[in-house]
Amino acid sequence: MLEMTVEKRLENFTIDAKISCETSGIVAFFGRSGAGKTSLVNMLAGLLRPDRGRIAVNGTTLFDSDQGIDLPPERRRLGYVFQEGRLFPHMTVRANLNYGLRRVPMGERAIEQDNVVVLLGLETCLARRPHHLSGGEKQRVALGRALLANPRLLLMDEPLASLDQPRKDEVLPFIERLRDELAIPIVYVSHSMPEIVRLADTMVLISSGRVEAVGAVDDLTSRLDLRPLTGRYEAGAVIQARIAGQDRDFGLTELAFAGGRLRVPHVRLAVGTQLRLRIRARDVALALEMPKRSSILNAIPAVVRDIGTEEGPQVDLRLDAGGATFWARITRRSLVDLNLHPGTPVTALIKAVAIDRYSLGRSAGPGRFLGNDD
């Protein structure tokens, strides 16, 4: 349980935030650059002192201005993975990894160096210095170092933001492994919705120093009123699915979800594996009837629930397919032509190729992590 009620005047704006959520899996702090995400995490870590308020993690009070409690960072037991890694340049990777571990009493060491080295694939880096590591390796070492301090909560502040896409893809599966194989709750700060959708269960939406909403990622991304904050470009829905079958001949994977079945380009996972996928609103087209001959593999019966009120030539519609929420972005002209209203039954058409491996993330649970497409 993470409870945080803080006020803090900063140079150019004020933080006034109230967060209360479960700390299972990954909690994402989402907001634009400068929304105050990093300040909030720094307050959690004890690197920035709130003017007023209270911070508690799993029942332990870290800060309370009324009671005069302010634990120094070294006594908070929160691991912190910084955007820039912040590895100690004068130490080897091994010494960096051990820095926090050395300060954990023997009896409280649930995570040891060997586990982390294997988990993060650092076997070949141990004797090297940070200077000689690639960007992705640096972030993996930073992850390992924070983990080895055996924290009660792991804070990650945009750990992928300084990496290019291939490096991001290199590090992301490791974060998924942390989430799935170690029972450490994670607070993940990001301004990238794809990252959050892939990793997080709970989302805290932050804007101008305030918390606008706290809830499940799926719920918040599908709320129209939050659209200005979650972003129109990012519009899309997260769907929980399960691998139902593999079509080797055509290189397709069949996924089962609440609203039926989806065929997507091959995903190298065992049948039965839970995963979640994100379908962007702009990849969903609508038809009033089931098309007969069409290249589009996925035609899902659905009902229109909600119609966005945005100005402009495009409009977003929320659809319900057997309990699963979809978003479709169509032109205002089509909306009028098809005479769509809340309650209209439609067929959602989703191009299989629009669902790429970046939209897939493995759901919590044991098993292998997502590999590359063949």
Partner 1 sequence: MPTLTPLETEALLLSMRVALWSVTISLPVGLLVAWLLARRDFIGKSAFNGLVHLPLVLPPVVVGYLLLILLGREGPLGRALFSLFGISLPFTWQGAALAAAVMAFPLMVRAMRLSLETVDRKLESAARTLGARPVVVFATITLPLMAPGIVVGAVLAFARSLGEFGATITFAANIPGETRTLPIALYTLIQTPDGEAAALRLTLISVVLSLAALAVSEVLARRLRTRIEG
Can you spell out the DSSP letters for 156-216?
EESTTTTS-HHHHHHHHHHHHHHHHHS---EEEEES-HHHHHHH-SEEEEEETTEEEEEEE
Q: How far is the CB of 76 from partner 1 (least distance, A)?
A: 8
In terms of CB distance, is 108 or 311 closer to partner 1?
A: 108
Q: How far is the CB of 372 from partner 1 (least distance, A)?
A: 32
Q: Which residue has the tokens 């769509």?
A: 340
In terms of CB distance, is 20 or 134 closer to partner 1?
A: 134
In terms of CB distance, is 109 or 332 closer to partner 1?
A: 109
Strand partners, 71: none
Q: How far is the CB of 349 from partner 1 (least distance, A)?
A: 49
Helix, strand, coil: what percent of the chain each, to 5? 25, 35, 40
In terms of CB distance, is 85 or 209 closer to partner 1?
A: 85
For residue 40, the surrounding DSSP H or E stretch is helix 37-45
Q: How far is the CB of 24 from partner 1 (least distance, A)?
A: 22
In terms of CB distance, is 144 or 259 closer to partner 1?
A: 144
Euclidean distance between CA atoms 355 and 351, whole angstroms = 7
The DSSP letter of residue 356 is -
In terms of CB distance, is 9 or 103 closer to partner 1?
A: 103
Q: How far is the CB of 128 from partner 1 (least distance, A)?
A: 8
In terms of CB distance, is 86 or 232 closer to partner 1?
A: 86
The residue ranges that bind partner 1 (CB under 8 A) are: 45-47, 72-80, 82, 84, 86, 88-90, 99-100, 103-104, 128-132, 145-146, 149
Q: How far is the CB of 129 from partner 1 (least distance, A)?
A: 3
Between CA 166 and CA 105, with CA 181 as vertex, the angle to 5 degrees is: 110
Q: How far is the CB of 41 from partner 1 (least distance, A)?
A: 11
Euclidean distance between CA atoms 45 and 79, whole angstroms = 8
Distance between alpha carbon 6 and the CA centroid of its chain, in Å? 24
Shortest CA distance to 329 belongs to which of 345, 308, 346?
Answer: 308
* Three-class secondary structure of residue 258 per DSSP: coil
